[in-house]
């Protein structure tokens, strides 16, 4: 097939053209023209939310990705034809889940043909499993996909010639095969004509591979991956290209930046992902030792990690993710498969012949902080060196190790036996987190650098002690080192776990407490030999490829002042907290108890009549040009045939009895109770609006549609008000000495928090810590409190202490149990009359994030109102204690804050 000269020139011009004089990125332009409030206040459509696997609840940034696309698709007026957008999202951020949600959304919008392509057969296999295999732990869709009340099937197709318009048709291919098929016609393969006059959604994963023409800055007539995709996209004006990648390279290639200026729809890169707590921290562990010694130190760290998880799984019965925790270690060869095979042989000899003496040598020689933690842990837990050897030999036995350097599926000459072996390996690699997958060690070269989704990779060992080219920090970093940095980015995916239900299992929990033993489960270790030139190279590669500067991380000690620890307040003082508890639904006896109080639902029956009239004919505004008289006929659901109601209930999964029983455990004993009781459906009427003719004989079809309309309203209302947890009252007493202690914080050197105000707080007896590693508003608050405690207004108080809360404690919203850690708690004790201790929660907040955290301010106000309304005895056990929540502190509103504080203290 000849390639059109006209096409290639047009395509590149189309790629590189931007709006005249407008250099905003697409996402910035959308936010300017539509407004962030409008974009991000839109609810996620139920065709997305209801049809994704409930085991993968949407995170905030994923919801924003959907909201950006919906605003672009439905509201943005400057979309090009055809449409093409890029999601630049970090490895591990759930790009494939976004794809699945967009498939559901676009099906609703009339698209039913989807072409998924990527550069690797390995990724194709993984994606097929995620999209098609309901038995997979990574299957992305809900068990049933229902759109507009109809069940929808996902169908894998080889082309779109016989696609089913009532199904989601997905064709999976590599970009290499797609390109070949386009230019070398084959039977049953997709061709350019397959896309003509058909609305196709093209989904490009690892899209940075498809930029060869743009990166080379050429207007070539030669067919290539990039202009093949652009040609397909032009075959129908309604077709749409969705591109996904973590590393597009805007910063290093002006041509790529120019192309994507009007395509970058959503950006959530690794620095953002990491800063929000969704990825592991990266630690470089360099060891001055031979290959065998370095392998063993990595194994010890890995085993320590597993034993820490096992310890806390036993201590915390409510923990999740720890019981079957299995950390994986990867031994990375530099270039050759033979090198990787040798690594496996060396490792096998090491483990099979491991002795007490080998480990004792490391214990004696090592001076690294992590190795000291390892051996302190085993000493404390009374696990002997002999027992440790047995654990390692059992965990890293030959059957628990895997070499993945066999023939790749992309190899055209692969035979059937090798193909089956590779497919089997890929299934193992795609299920490493599974409880019945015992693989602990993997040996590889390049095969797993892309498309490998694994959460429990915690150690990567660069076994070689050879420099792979490059020239140090300022020299050119080798491609091998860049690949290692990219692999580190893949390994940084966070392994989800919680100790109890108060924690977010997808986020780091110990940034504010780096000495905690469980911190090791939030760290990825990259083990290498101790060579300063290589360390500079890998740091530079991580900085350039991942956007993370490891040299910017600094540990800060937050310590209680020794003088404070001598006070009676520290030794015997109390802080009142609340708990996150399961909501008690035993007293929920009606829809009204769940805030659904509607008693009438209107349903209009359209007559179908019409009339043609003169557009210039004037009539007064009261004139009804159809002369239709419509009235209302009210029918109670208790008088509606049960089979109609039951039919409607069966069409909405929410109304299955098991689900309803969880909300109304003591009110419903059967579905008949839901239908017959006046507290539920029997107490609701349908107001049918229509002509006399229509109302005299309302069809069962209209009755069914009316009931469905009502049921969907009830469903949305109950889903809105239904919560699993609430916050208890503040009856939990804890000693100050138990809750507040020293911590090690990991901070970015460039962050404003790194300035701890040490000089300012050093002589302030009311400030109990040695530093305040807070934001600008948190620092302003400390300075304000200094003025406040030195004013004559507080002469009536003693024992004034401001305690910074670096996740020392959390409190829980009364309504939904959402966790909140106020930045400060202020204690003041009155001198006059009956001694009263005031416990005041304070949260400084910048104006730019007030709106997003409004629920926290509402909660603080609820604390005060609940206390005032119920009376002290209902709230805490003593009349000598007052618990207060104040509105946010902000320096610009300091006078308002002071007024609130003074009123609460009766100043």
Q: Which two tokens stand for residue 400?
A: 């628990």
pLDDT tier, 792 (very low <50, low <70, confident <90, very high otherwise) = confident
Q: Which two tokens stand for residue 154?
A: 């996902």
Most confident of 318-322, 495-499, 824-828: 824-828
Average per-residue pLDDT for the chain? 86
- pLDDT in the model for residue 472: 43
Q: Are 182 and 158 within 8 A, CB to CB?
A: no
Nearest to 205 by CA among 227, 188, 229, 239: 229
Q: What is the pLDDT of residues 617-654, one digit of tens each?
A: 555 544 455 566 789 999 999 999 999 999 999 988 89
- pLDDT in the model for residue 574: 93
Span of 176-185, 268-277, 724-733 with lowest mean pLDDT:
176-185
Across 525-535, average pLDDT: 91
Q: How many helices (H) and strands (E) are present in the chain, helices listed first? A: 33, 30
- Map residue 652 onto helix, strand or coil: coil
531-537 contacts at long range (C-beta below 8 A, 24 or more positions apart)? 531/286, 531/465, 531/467, 533/467, 533/470, 533/472, 534/467, 534/481, 535/284, 535/286, 536/472, 536/473, 537/467, 537/470, 537/472, 537/473, 537/475, 537/477, 537/478, 537/481
Nearest to 865 by CA among 880, 849, 881, 884: 884
Nearest to 790 by CA among 765, 809, 759: 765
Torsion angle defined by CA atoms of residues 325, 330, 331 and 332, in that order, rounded to the nearest 10 degrees: -170
- Map residue 455 onto helix, strand or coil: coil
Q: What angle do CA 889, 892, 894 make, to 5 degrees?
A: 50
Q: Which two tokens stand for residue 826?
A: 């202020």
- pLDDT in the model for residue 3: 31
Q: What is the pLDDT of residues 284-318, one digit of tens each?
A: 999 988 999 999 999 999 999 999 999 999 998 87
Most confident of 189-203, 306-320, 397-411: 306-320
DSSP string for residues in 740-760: ---EEEEEETTSGGG---HHH
Of the two residues 803 and 3, the one the predictor is more confident about is: 803
Burial tier of 473 (Cβ tally within 10 Å: 0-12, 13-18, 19+): middle
Q: Is the pLDDT of residue 48 over 50?
A: yes
Of the two residues 765 and 122, the one the predictor is more confident about is: 765
Burial tier of 611 (Cβ tally within 10 Å: 0-12, 13-18, 19+): exposed
Span of 44-48, 175-179, 272-276 with lowest mean pLDDT:
175-179
pLDDT tier, 391 (very low <50, low <70, confident <90, very high otherwise) = very high
- pLDDT in the model for residue 219: 52
- pLDDT in the model for residue 879: 61
- Map residue 614 onto helix, strand or coil: coil
Q: What is the pLDDT of residues 8-35, one digit of tens each?
A: 333 333 333 333 345 789 999 999 999 9
- pLDDT in the model for residue 878: 53
Q: Sign of dihedral through CA atoms 878, 879, 885, 890?
A: negative
- pLDDT in the model for residue 174: 86
Span of 385-389, 464-468, 692-696 with lowest mean pLDDT:
464-468
Q: Is the pLDDT of residue 671 over 80?
A: yes
- pLDDT in the model for residue 571: 95
- pLDDT in the model for residue 767: 97
Q: How far, in Å, CA of 210 to CA of 220, rounded? A: 15
Most confident of 328-337, 540-549, 683-692: 683-692
Of the two residues 213 and 638, the one the predictor is more confident about is: 638
Of the two residues 198 and 386, the one the predictor is more confident about is: 386
Say if residue 458 is preceded by a cis peptide, omega within 30 of 0.
no
Most confident of 394-408, 478-492, 574-588: 574-588
- pLDDT in the model for residue 869: 52
pLDDT tier, 110 (very low <50, low <70, confident <90, very high otherwise) = very high
Span of 221-225, 618-622, 671-675 with lowest mean pLDDT:
618-622
pTM of the model: 0.79
Q: Is the pLDDT of residue 162 over 50?
A: yes
- pLDDT in the model for residue 468: 57
Across 278-289, average pLDDT: 93
Q: What is the pLDDT of residues 453-467, one digit of tens each?
A: 789 999 999 998 776
Of the two residues 841 and 613, the one the predictor is more confident about is: 841
Across 782-806, average pLDDT: 91
- pLDDT in the model for residue 467: 65
- pLDDT in the model for residue 596: 95
- pLDDT in the model for residue 843: 96
Q: What is the pLDDT of residues 832-890, one digit of tens each?
A: 767 788 999 999 999 888 888 899 999 999 998 886 654 444 444 456 788 999 999 99
Percent of the chain whose pLDDT exceeds 90: 57
Q: How far, in Å, CA of 867 to CA of 687, rounded? A: 44
End-to-end CA distance of the chain: 87
Of the two residues 684 and 231, the one the predictor is more confident about is: 684
Burial tier of 584 (Cβ tally within 10 Å: 0-12, 13-18, 19+): exposed
Q: Are 44 and 66 within 8 A, CB to CB?
A: yes
Q: Is the pLDDT of residue 821 over 60?
A: yes
Beta-carbon contacts of residue 46 (< 8 Å; ≥ 6 apart): none
């Amino acid at each position: 097939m000849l390639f059109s000269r006209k096409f290639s020139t047009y395509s590149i011009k189309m790629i590189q053209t931007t709006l005249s004089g407008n250099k905003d990125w697409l996402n910035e332009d959308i936010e300017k023209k539509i407004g962030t409030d409008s974009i991000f206040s839109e609810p996620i459509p139920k065709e997305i939310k209801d049809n994704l696997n409930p085991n993968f609840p949407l995170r905030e940034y994923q919801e924003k990705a959907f909201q950006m696309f919906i605003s672009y698709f439905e509201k943005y007026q400057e979309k090009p034809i055809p449409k093409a957008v890029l999601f630049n999202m970090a490895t591990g951020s759930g790009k494939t889940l976004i794809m699945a949600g967009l498939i559901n959304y676009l099906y609703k919008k009339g698209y039913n043909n989807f072409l998924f392509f990527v550069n690797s057969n390995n990724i194709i296999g993984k994606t097929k499993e995620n999209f098609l295999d309901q038995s997979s732990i990574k299957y992305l869709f809900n068990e049933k996909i229902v759109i507009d009340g109809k069940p929808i099937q996902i169908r894998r197709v080889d082309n779109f010639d016989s696609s089913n318009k009532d199904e989601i048709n997905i064709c999976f291919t590599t970009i290499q095969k797609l390109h070949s098929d386009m230019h070398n016609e084959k039977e049953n393969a997709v061709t350019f004509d397959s896309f003509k006059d058909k609305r196709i959604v093209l989904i490009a994963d690892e899209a940075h591979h498809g930029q060869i023409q743009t990166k080379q800055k050429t207007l070539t007539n030669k067919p290539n991956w990039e202009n093949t995709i652009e040609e397909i996209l032009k075959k129908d004006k309604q077709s749409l290209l969705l591109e996904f990648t973590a590393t597009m390279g805007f910063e290093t290639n002006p041509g790529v930046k120019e192309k994507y200026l009007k395509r970058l729809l959503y950006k959530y890169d690794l620095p953002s992902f990491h800063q929000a707590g969704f990825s592991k921290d990266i630690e470089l562990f360099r060891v001055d030792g031979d290959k065998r010694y370095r392998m063993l130190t990595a194994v010890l760290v890995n085993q320590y990690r597993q034993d820490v998880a096992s310890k806390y799984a036993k201590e915390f019965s409510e923990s999740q993710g720890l019981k079957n925790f299995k950390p994986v270690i990867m031994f990375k060869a530099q270039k050759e498969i033979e090198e990787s095979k040798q690594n496996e042989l060396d490792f096998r000899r090491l483990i099979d012949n491991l002795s007490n003496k080998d480990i004792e040598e490391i214990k004696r020689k090592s001076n690294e902080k992590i190795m000291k933690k390892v051996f302190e842990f085993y000493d404390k837990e009374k696990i002997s060196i002999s027992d440790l050897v047995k654990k390692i030999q059992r965990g890293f036995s030959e059957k628990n190790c895997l070499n993945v350097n066999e023939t790749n599926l992309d190899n055209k000459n692969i035979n059937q036996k090798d193909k089956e072996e590779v497919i089997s390996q890929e299934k193992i690699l795609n299920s490493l987190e599974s409880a019945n997958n015992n693989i602990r060690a993997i040996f590889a070269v390049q095969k797993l650098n892309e498309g490998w989704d694994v959460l429990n990779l915690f150690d990567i060992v660069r076994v070689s002690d050879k420099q792979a080219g490059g020239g140090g920090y300022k020299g050119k970093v080798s491609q091998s080192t860049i690949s290692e940095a990219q692999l580190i980015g893949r390994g940084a995916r966070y392994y989800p776990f919680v100790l109890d239900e108060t924690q977010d299992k997808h986020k780091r929990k110990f940034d504010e407490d780096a000495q905690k033993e469980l911190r090791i489960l939030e760290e990825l270790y990259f083990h290498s030999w101790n060579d300063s030139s290589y360390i500079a190279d890998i740091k530079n590669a991580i900085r350039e490829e991942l956007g993370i500067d490891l040299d910017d991380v600094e540990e800060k000690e937050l310590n209680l002042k020794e003088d404070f620890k001598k006070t009676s307040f520290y030794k015997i003082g109390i802080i009142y907290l609340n708990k996150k508890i399961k909501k008690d639904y035993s007293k929920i006896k009606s829809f009204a108890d769940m805030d659904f109080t509607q008693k009438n639902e209107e349903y209009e029956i359209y007559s179908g009549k019409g009339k043609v009239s003169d557009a210039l004919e004037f009539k007064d505004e009261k004139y009804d040009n159809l002369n239709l008289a419509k009235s209302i006929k009210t029918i109670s659901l208790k008088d509606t045939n049960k089979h109609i109601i039951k039919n409607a209930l069966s069409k909405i999964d929410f109304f299955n009895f098991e689900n309803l029983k969880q909300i109304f455990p003591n009110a419903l004993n059967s579905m008949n109770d839901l239908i017959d009781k006046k507290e539920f459906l029997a107490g609701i009427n349908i107001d049918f609006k229509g002509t006399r003719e229509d109302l005299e004989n309302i069809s069962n079809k209209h009755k069914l549609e009316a009931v469905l309309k009502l049921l969907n309203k009830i469903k949305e209302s109950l889903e809105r008000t239904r919560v699993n947890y609430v916050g208890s009252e503040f009856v939990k007493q804890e000693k100050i000495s138990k809750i507040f202690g020293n911590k090690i914080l990991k901070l970015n050197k460039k962050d404003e928090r790194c300035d701890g105000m040490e000089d300012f707080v050093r002589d302030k007896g009311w400030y109990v810590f040695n530093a305040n590693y807070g934001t600008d508003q948190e620092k302003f608050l400390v300075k304000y409190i200094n003025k406040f405690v030195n004013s004559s207004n507080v002469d009536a108080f003693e024992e004034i202490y401001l305690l910074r809360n670096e996740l020392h404690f959390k409190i829980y919203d009364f309504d939904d149990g959402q966790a909140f850690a106020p930045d400060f708690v202020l204690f003041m004790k009155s001198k006059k009359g009956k001694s009263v201790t005031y416990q005041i929660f304070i949260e400084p907040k910048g104006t730019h994030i007030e709106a997003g955290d409004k629920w926290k301010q509402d909660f603080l106000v609820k604390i005060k109102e609940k206390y005032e309304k119920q009376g002290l005895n209902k709230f805490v056990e003593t009349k000598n204690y007052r618990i207060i929540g104040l509105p946010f502190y902000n320096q610009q509103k300091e006078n308002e804050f002071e007024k609130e504080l003074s009123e609460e203290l009766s100043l």
